[in-house]
Amino acid sequence: MSLMTTTLITGGSGGIGLEMARLLASRGHRLLLVSRDAVRLNSAAQELRQVFGAEVFFHAIDLSEPGAAKALVNYTDQQQLRIDTLINNAGFGIVDEHSEIDLEFIHRMLQLNVIAVAELCHLYGAIMRQRRAGHILNIASTAAFQPTPYFAAYGASKAFVLNFSEAIAKEMEEHGVSVSCLAPGPTDTAFFDSVDPHRIDGGHFFRKSARADPRAVAKEGVELMLRGGLTHVVGVMNRFMILGNRLAPRSIVAAISKRLLRPAAGRNSRSQEYFH
């Protein structure tokens, strides 16, 4: 039996990942949705089958665990699913002073946001390179473009995704594989729902009214992936902000970020963890 061409979406049970799945299902893509929540995955798969008639597989696995990326590749090999499109969307962040965050949370976040992304690009990218065909889309963030006090490790992890994606894109372009990076700002998903905007001085960035529509973000990501392109920042205002960051001294950019993300006076600092 020949391998089946498949689009793999990590973090595919909700948010931007599920919206991308809906768009791709409507275009006839066979999908493999991956997240740690089997119940939500099953619900998402049923919806995509019923609404779009899509062929959808799902696999519950926690990519924040060491060795999970290799286990996922083993699963797709066993199921004879040929991954020709990889969307690395899964990720999570923690809001707090870095020294106050439990080390276990930091390890899990970096494992998911950095190591799993690098490993999946390595493992599936090598296969795509041999076939001289394939697409990879990595989801970064506008947090990748400047230091983010009180969001330090998360912002740094997304800076890794940004620079890593652009670097391997140039490596892989000679082998018929396109690698792109999408950088959305705050988006109206559960990713931001657990962050109380009132405990952050610059919390207006986290309020629902300031968040992007996940369907619009997903649409821009799918279009970027299919047409090819290096990096796309979602939102005109976000692009202007990033341009300003590049022109201003780093010390000023860091100070502004600190002011916007500092815990509000009189509110105790408390780690808040949220997933894509």
pLDDT of 270 above 70: no
CA-CA distances (angstroms) from residue 240 to 7, 59, 145, 234, 236?
Answer: 33, 39, 12, 11, 6
For 63-104, what is each residue's pLDDT tens digit?
999 999 999 999 999 999 999 999 999 998 888 899 999 999
β-bridge mates for residue 231, sequence order:
181
Give pLDDT, residue 95.
82
Greater pLDDT, 79 or 240? 79
Q: Which domain holds residue 163?
A: 4-275
* CATH number of residue 123's parent domain: 3.40.50.720
Element (H, E) at 94: strand 92-95
Residue whose structure tokens are 């082998």:
175
End-to-end CA separation in angstroms for the chain: 35
Please report which confidence band the pLDDT of residue 255 belongs to, taking 50, 70 and 90 as the band edges. confident
Mean pLDDT score, 214-238? 93
Give pLDDT, residue 205.
54
Element (H, E) at 171: helix 152-172
Is residue 42 a contact partner of residue 89, using CB atoms and an 8 Å limit? no
Q: Classify 243 as helix, strand or coil.
A: helix
β-bridge mates for residue 205, sequence order:
none
- Report the number of distinct structural domains present in the chain: 1
pLDDT of 15 above 80: yes
Q: Count the Cβ atoms, other than its own, within 10 Å of residue 166.
A: 16
- Model pTM score: 0.89
